[in-house]
Amino acid sequence: MSKTFSSILEQSVDKLRSFIPGNGKKKARAYQRREVPRDQHNVSRSVISEPAKKVLSRLNKSGYEAYLVGGGVRDILLGQRPKDFDIATNATPEEVHDLFRNSRLIGRRFRIVHVVFGREIIEVTTFRGNANQADKDSTSDDRKTSEHGQLLRDNVYGNQEEDALRRDFTINALYYCIRDFTVIDFANGIDDLRNRQLRLIGDPETRYREDPVRMLRAIRFAAKLDFDIEPETEAPIRELAPLLTHIPPARLFEEVLKLFSAGHGEATYDLLTRYDLLAPLFPETVKAIEAGEPDELIRQALRNTDARIAQGKSVTPYFLFAAMLWPALQKEWNHRQDNGDPVQPALHGAIGKVIGRQVQATSIPKRFSGPMKEIWELQMRLPRRQGKRAFVTMSHQRFRAAYDFLLVREACGEIKPGLGDWWTEFQRVDERGQERMLSELTNDAPKKRRRRKPAQRPAP
Ligand code: ATP
Ligand code: MG
């Protein structure tokens, strides 16, 4: 963190005192609003995207307050490139929608506006009001909480300070004002940024109960930013992890993609495992691993994914899910074969069962589950190359992904090396070379290695 922040503690401009939302019973912690002037931070207009600047200035010119907030401010302060830009304003969603022709109102649980500029989407959120109201108002139409304390809907508007305190982490509650170039900090976010700490605003347990996805967000930011999760924020996670089963599968699917496509997939996987958060996302995978299936393929796939992202390449959700569910598939496939099913029907039965169970946790849209099945099925076809088979396999639209998957299986030691190199060569050589390779094939195509024995577990 740059030195410019060292004097920020003393920069108390406004003596507004605020109390943490949802913290009525436990100790109330006072926060002080602080403003960091332009010469003491590194947020400059030049690192903000043109569309984000356009939205900010149009809102300002129309008489509304508008600030850059969230990851956009946090990542710039950390010297990183923001993934996207979020804006907070006192204009209502309808007013924002009226101002921008290229916008759409989205969300029911949480009404926001997307202003669309080609591929860039600017998310504009109206200041949310005091979260304490949630208890009193739990059945109102604008704010609704479940019997577990989960915030089902939050469309009660408020002022900027209230908006700051209903955000998740202190480092996500920093606002940048494009008019006077100040950074406004309501919850000591700058201190936490400097100390590389993730701290929930308010009482952690209440905040996780309001929205269990915040536990996943803690892991995502800890892995992405290489921050520590501050002890009080960390403490309730293991116990509350099962609350994630109350989250709609479609939302969890989106969160899984965010978790594993930020370029720190392996670190994220380790943290999810450490905090018992993998089980609500991939229950069958966790059961399979606990029963002795290795998770090396998952790790290897995530390492490859991280390397791809570092090179600016994209990651396909179906490849990710094919890897994350592989131990579950192996367990089920082996189980069916042990029960006497022939290999092929055992595979098909296992695929159906694993996907059927998974979609109860996270949805998997059909456009991804189809290709995922194909990757798995092709694993059986890749060793069989005689005659025309190699050509038929290679012309399959999922060949490339299946071949990549095979390389991952080899790299992690699940199968012995050789087949991957063969396919690499087969794609490289010309037709005559391919004929030669096929004629040289012996009948001993690489076989799957014998399954490792389940880990020895102490008798209960
Ligand atoms: P990134 O976009 O890099 O993933 P981000 O912090 O911008 O990170 P978004 O999901 O874009 O995350 O959300 C924008 C901001 O909205 C967050 O910084 C945070 O202030 C607030 N926010 C998002 N999700 C939640 C939540 N579940 N609970 C409370 N506040 C949230
Ligand atoms: Mg964001």
Please indicate, yes or no, if residue 160 is contained in any of the structural domains.
yes
Q: Are residues 177 and 309 in the same domain?
A: no
Residue 420's closest CA among 429, 409, 428?
A: 409
Please indicate, yes or no, if residue 232 is contained in any of the structural domains.
no
Is 137 considered catalytic here?
no
What was the pLDDT predicted at 147? Answer: 83
Helices (H) and strands (E) in the chain — how many of each? 23, 14
pTM, two decimals, is: 0.89
What was the pLDDT predicted at 20? Answer: 42
Distance from Cα 75 to the centre of ligand 2, integer Å: 10
Residue nearest to atom 5 of ligand 1 (CA): 71
Residue nearest to atom 17 of ligand 1 (CA): 70
Q: Are residues 187 and 300 in the same domain?
A: no
Ligand 1 atom having least distance to the Cα of 74? 6
Q: Are residues 319 and 436 in the same domain?
A: yes
Please indicate, yes or no, if residue 89 is contained in any of the structural domains.
yes
Please indicate, yes or no, if residue 256 is contained in any of the structural domains.
no
Ligand 1 near 276 CB (within 6 A):
no
Segments in the chain below pLDDT 70:
1-29, 131-140, 443-460
How many domains does the structure of the chain reveal? 2
Other CB atoms within 10 Å distance of the CB of residue 435: 11
The answer to whether 164 and 30 are in contact (CB under 8 A) is no
Residue 386's closest CA among 428, 445, 429?
A: 445
Instruction: Give the helix ranges, DSSP H, for 226-282.
Output: 231-234, 237-240, 249-260, 265-274, 278-281
Per residue in 316-331, is it b (16+ CB within 10 Å) or e — as a string? bbbbbbbbbbbbbbbb
Distance from Cα 170 to the centre of ligand 1, integer Å: 11
Distance from Cα 70 to the centre of ligand 2, integer Å: 6
Q: Burial level of 387, CB count in 10 A (0-12/13-18/19+)? A: exposed
Cα–Cα distance measured from residue 298 to residue 266, given in angstroms and rounded to the nearest whole number: 9
Cα–Cα distance measured from residue 287 to residue 293, given in angstroms and rounded to the nearest whole number: 9
Other CB atoms within 10 Å distance of the CB of residue 50: 9
Q: Are residues 189 and 301 in the same domain?
A: no
Q: Which of 194, 222, 244 is the last residue before a domain boundary?
A: 194
Check the CA dihedral 79-317-418-294 and report its sign: positive
Please indicate, yes or no, if residue 373 is contained in any of the structural domains.
yes
Kindly write down the DSSP assignment for every residue of 307-361, as one continuous string. HHHHTT----HHHHHHHHTHHHHHHHHHHHHHTT--HHHHHHHHHHHHHHHHTTT
Ligand 1 near 84 CB (within 6 A):
yes
Please indicate, yes or no, if residue 251 is contained in any of the structural domains.
no
Q: Are residues 35 and 158 in the same domain?
A: yes
Domain span holding position 1:
1-194
Q: Are residues 159 and 305 in the same domain?
A: no
Secondary structure of 406-430 in the HEC alphabet?
A: HHHHHHCCCECCCHHHHHHHHHHCC
Ligand 1 near 86 CB (within 6 A):
yes
Q: For a ligand 1 pocket test, name from 84, 114, 130, 168 the mutation site with the most ligand atoms within 8 angstroms of its C-beta.
A: 168
What was the pLDDT predicted at 327? Answer: 98
Q: Are residues 332 and 185 in the same domain?
A: no
Q: Indicate which residue of 75, 163, 168, 295 is catalytic.
A: 168
What was the pLDDT predicted at 240? Answer: 98
Q: Are residues 184 and 43 in the same domain?
A: yes
What was the pLDDT predicted at 29? Answer: 62
User: Which residues neighbour 61 within 8 Å (Cβ) at sequence distance 6 or greater?
Assistant: none
Ligand 1 near 17 CB (within 6 A):
no
Ligand 1 near 211 CB (within 6 A):
yes
Give the ligand whose atoms come closest to the C-alpha of residue 210: 1
Paired tokens of 195 = 């100390």
What was the pLDDT predicted at 134? Answer: 46
Q: pLDDT tens, 250-282?
A: 999 999 999 999 999 999 999 999 999 999 999
Please indicate, yes or no, if residue 152 is contained in any of the structural domains.
yes
Q: Which residues lie across from 71 on neighbouring strands? A: none
Q: Are residues 190 and 318 in the same domain?
A: no
What was the pLDDT predicted at 149? Answer: 82
Q: What is the CATH number of the domain that holds 101?
A: 3.30.460.10
Ligand 1 near 70 CB (within 6 A):
yes
Is 86 considered catalytic here?
yes
Is 168 considered catalytic here?
yes
Please indicate, yes or no, if residue 130 is contained in any of the structural domains.
yes
User: Which residues neighbour 276 within 8 Å (Cβ) at sequence distance 6 or greater?
Assistant: 237, 238, 241
What was the pLDDT predicted at 374? Answer: 98
